Amino acid sequence: MNSIERTQATIDFKSADHVPVIAQVFGHAACFAGAPLTDYLRNGELLAHCQIQALNHYGYDAVFAVMDVNVETEAMGSVLEYREGQYPFIKAYALSEDIDLKKVSMPDPYLAGRMPELLKAVKILRREIGDRKLVIGCVLGPMTLTTQLIGIEKALYLAIDEPDKFTYLLNFAVEVIIQFGLAQIEAGAHLPVVFDPSSSPAVIPPQFFREFELPRLKRVFSAFKEAGAVAN
């Protein structure tokens, strides 16, 4: 069995030759290879080579074309602060001053921000690894991307005070996510992982998740599956 077959069998509750190991090795790959984290997060070629070095050392079942959780929001106009040896954080949200929906435009995954570098990493990883191991990309979930455009407090207040605006932003986030994820699949990712920490029960109650987030996540997963994502 290769890693894809092993992972798919496990997901389907079928027998596998052994339990698949999919370790979330992101920035650690840069540390392992002795590369500066700030360079790793901005350079797709470096990211791919660091991931391959870590894979060769640890021998797990997947590599990750993952930079950080701010790629989409930066591509849409949020300002990040980069510090040596740390992941960047949002210094100014794209819609922090005024939630003007006209200011939001669809980012082109092949041109906007660091998105093209992430796609470059995907292409290199798939070319070098093929189907021996899972090549996993990354997108944010709808709630998380929305909170990264206006801030989590504003997002929660918006959901209560102006639900139409909140719904519009969520739906727009879904389109951004799908376009970015499809570009990753086209570049060679076997699947994109969806990071959605802002929809955890520590942030929103279950009913909120079921009403606002769940149907949109289903749209995202369906789009990826139709595009050929594996291990569904």
Query: What pLDDT score was predicted for residue 97?
Result: 65
Give helix 142-150 / helix 163-187 axis angle, nearest 10°: 120
Query: What's the pLDDT at 102?
Result: 72
Task: Count Cα neighbours of 167 within 13 Å in the Cβ-side half-sphere.
Answer: 9
pLDDT of residue 156: 92
Task: Measure the CA–CA gap between 71 and 74, rounded to whole angstroms.
Answer: 5
- pLDDT value for 25: 95
> Can you read off the two tokens belonging to residue 171?
């739906």
What's the pLDDT score for residue 175? 96
CATH topology of domain 3-226: TIM Barrel (3.20.20)
Q: pTM for the whole thing? A: 0.93
**Considering only CA atoms, which of 102, 109, 69, 92 is closest in space to residue 168?**
102
Q: CA separation (Å) from 187 to 18, 37, 116, 190? A: 29, 24, 10, 9
Write down the pLDDT at residue 8: 87
State how far the Cα of 208 lies from the Cα of 219, in Å rounded to an integer.
Answer: 17
Q: Name the residue among 16, 175, 44, 170 with its Cα closest to residue 115.
A: 44
| DSSP per-residue codes, 77-97 | TPEEE--TTS--EEEE-TTSS
Confidence at residue 160, expressed as pLDDT on a 0 to 100 scale: 92
- The rounded distance, in Å, linking the Cα atoms of 210 and 40 is 36
Q: Block means of pLDDT (10 residues each) for the chain, length 232 residues?
A: 88 90 94 96 98 96 96 95 94 80 84 98 97 95 96 92 91 96 97 95 93 96 94 59
Q: Which residue has the tokens 């990264």?
A: 148
CB 141 within 8 A of CB 213: yes
The residues, ordered by sequence, that sit 6+ positions from 21 with a Cβ below 8 Å of its Cβ are 60, 61
At 97, which amino acid appears? Answer: E
pLDDT of residue 232: 55
- 3-class secondary structure, 64: strand
